[in-house]
């Protein structure tokens, strides 16, 4: 089978689709992988035929961090970017398909807002691979763009209607979409997100999340994960061996609104603590007066690092959340945007860590209190160990591939 994967978004959006690319290639299928040029080496290593497509989202978001101080601002920035690129993706995807020699199945992940339209034009099946349930409309949670937490179900319904109006009409995305579809002799659509997820699967582990009762007709497979075998740097390994298991703090590729303030507050927390810390070098700069209970790290394999930790503090990306759970780690999520609030609430609800607060509300007092709870509550580690066993019972990679290949002709 000839399969096109369009993986748009951050590294966290692209990684699961790289795993899918590798699994499909191993199964003997030809995979065309479309993503930002920064992912060429990874895509080719996964066995895909790589075509550069789309922007370097992390660089773009860094340039626009002033517009992304809150979840709604983050979502508006992304949607505005999509609005300006609808014709771009259509104009580039169709020649890519032709150059690849045609396709039998189109798979979209991350910020793939145009794949379903291209697939419809080509008269082939389309499947959107979702990493979290919140992309599906439900009264049990609010939309991603308006993460007002712990509201009654009736309020969530109102928020979904507001989100639909903002996305489709206020920002003008639906008008742009239907103009493009008209040029392609396709009928207009009424709602972009519903059209995008009309044929979708949920690639998340049931131990962490399931569809709510009012979301039906979809299949949940399991998270897509390929262990990263990149060795831990020796200096980091020495630090790990030198004492009690440390706490990791890192916020992935998220841009920090006020990096200097974040750095100062984290340093105050670390200096006052008797815990040892491994912290992303995107949060704290290397300097001679950094405390002795701290080591900084750049990119590191979480599959190897998380085996040696007491706990992890992170931004709540789906991949990091699943990896921490896979290795039985208590975790604290400090969300900023997108699905991160959903995962913060899930980790708390499952007893895998304390309730997180928004990243931009971090204070020394709050962080000290929540770190104490994270590292001293034995229930978190006990629950995390149980969750790990539940995750290990499910092979999300295999289930996803089997479903996609088995259902290809029916979707």
Residues facing residue 278 across a β-bridge: 248, 295
Shared domain for 271 and 294, answered yes or no, is yes
Q: What are phi and psi of 153, to 5 degrees?
A: -60, -35
| Predicted pLDDT of residue 146 | 86
Range of the domain at 324: 234-392
Q: Total structural domains in the chain?
A: 2
Q: What CATH number is given to the structural domain containing 344?
A: 3.40.50.2000
Residue 97's pLDDT is 97
| Residue 98 sits in the same domain as residue 203 | yes
**What CA–CA distances, in Å, run from 156 to 27, 130, 137, 138?**
42, 20, 10, 8
Q: Do 190 and 90 lie in a common domain?
A: yes
Strands (E) located in 24-125: 30-35, 49-52, 105-110
Pairing status of strand 200-202 against strand 30-35:
unpaired
Query: How much is the pTM?
Result: 0.91
pLDDT for 82 equals: 64
Residue 280 CA to residue 261 CA, distance in Å, equals 15
User: Is residue 203 situated within a structural domain?
Assistant: yes
- pLDDT score at 72: 55
Whether 228 is in a domain gets the answer no
Say if residue 241 is in the same domain as residue 203.
no
**27 with 405: CB under 8 angstroms?**
yes
> Which pLDDT belongs to residue 409?
43
Q: Are residues 306 and 271 in the same domain?
A: yes
CA distance 57 to 253: 10
**Per-10-residue mean pLDDT, the chain, length 411:** 95 95 96 97 97 82 58 59 78 96 96 94 96 95 88 96 88 88 95 91 96 95 94 96 97 87 96 96 94 96 97 96 97 93 96 95 95 97 98 95 74 38
* d(C-alpha 372, C-alpha 264), whole Å: 19
**Largest distance between two CA atoms of the chain:** 66
382 and 401 housed in the same domain: no
The reply to whether 173 and 267 lie within a common domain is: no
Do residues 113 and 131 share a domain? yes
User: Two tokens at 32?
Assistant: 């065309």
Number of other CB atoms surrounding residue 94 within 10 Å:
14
The distance from CA 160 to its chain's CA centroid, rounded to whole angstroms, is 21
Asked whether residue 145 falls in the same domain as residue 254, the answer is: no
Give yes or no: residues 164 and 249 share one domain.
no
Give the pLDDT of residue 410. 43
**Domain identity same for 43 and 182:** yes
């Amino acid at each position: 089978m000839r399969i096109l994967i369009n993986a748009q978004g951050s590294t966290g959006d692209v990684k699961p689709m790289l795993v899918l690319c590798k699994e499909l290639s191993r199964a003997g299928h030809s995979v065309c992988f479309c993503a930002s040029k920064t992912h060429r080496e990874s895509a080719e290593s996964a066995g895909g035929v790589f075509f550069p497509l789309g922007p370097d989202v992390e660089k773009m978001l860094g340039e626009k961090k002033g517009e992304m101080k809150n979840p709604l601002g983050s979502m508006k920035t992304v949607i505005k970017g999509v609005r300006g690129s609808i014709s771009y993706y259509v104009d580039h995807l169709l020649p890519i398909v032709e150059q690849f020699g045609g396709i039998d199945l189109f798979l979209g992940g991350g910020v793939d807002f145009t794949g379903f339209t291209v697939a419809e034009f080509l008269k082939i099946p389309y499947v959107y691979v979702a990493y979290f349930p919140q992309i599906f409309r439900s009264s049990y949670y609010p939309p991603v763009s308006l993460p007002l937490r712990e509201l009654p179900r009736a309020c969530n319904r109102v928020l979904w209607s507001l989100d639909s109006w903002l996305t489709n009409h206020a920002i003008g995305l639906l008008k742009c979409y239907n103009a493009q579809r008209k040029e392609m002799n396709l009928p207009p659509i009424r709602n972009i997100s519903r059209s995008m997820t009309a044929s979708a699967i949920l690639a998340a582990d049931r131990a962490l999340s399931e569809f709510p009762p009012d979301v039906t007709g979809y299949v949940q497979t399991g998270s897509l994960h390929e262990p990263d075998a990149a060795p831990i740097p020796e200096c980091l390994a020495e630090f790990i061996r030198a004492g009690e298991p440390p706490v990791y703090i890192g916020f992935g590729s998220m841009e920090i609104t006020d990096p200097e303030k974040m750095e100062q507050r984290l340093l105050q927390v670390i200096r006052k603590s008797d815990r040892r810390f491994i912290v992303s070098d995107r949060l704290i700069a290397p300097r001679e007066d950094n405390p002795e209970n701290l080591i900084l790290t750049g990119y590191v394999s979480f599959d190897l690092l998380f085996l040696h930790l007491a706990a992890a503090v992170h931004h709540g990306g789906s991949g990091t959340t699943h990896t921490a759970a896979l290795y039985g780690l208590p975790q604290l999520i400090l969300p900023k945007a997108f699905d991160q609030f959903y995962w913060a609430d899930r980790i708390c609800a499952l007893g895998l860590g304390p309730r997180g607060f928004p990243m931009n509300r971090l204070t020394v007092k709050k962080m000290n209190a929540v770190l104490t709870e994270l590292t001293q509550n034995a229930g978190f580690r006990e629950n995390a160990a149980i969750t790990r066993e539940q995750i290990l019972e499910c092979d999300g990679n295999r289930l996803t591939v089997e479903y996609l290949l088995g259902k290809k002709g029916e979707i």
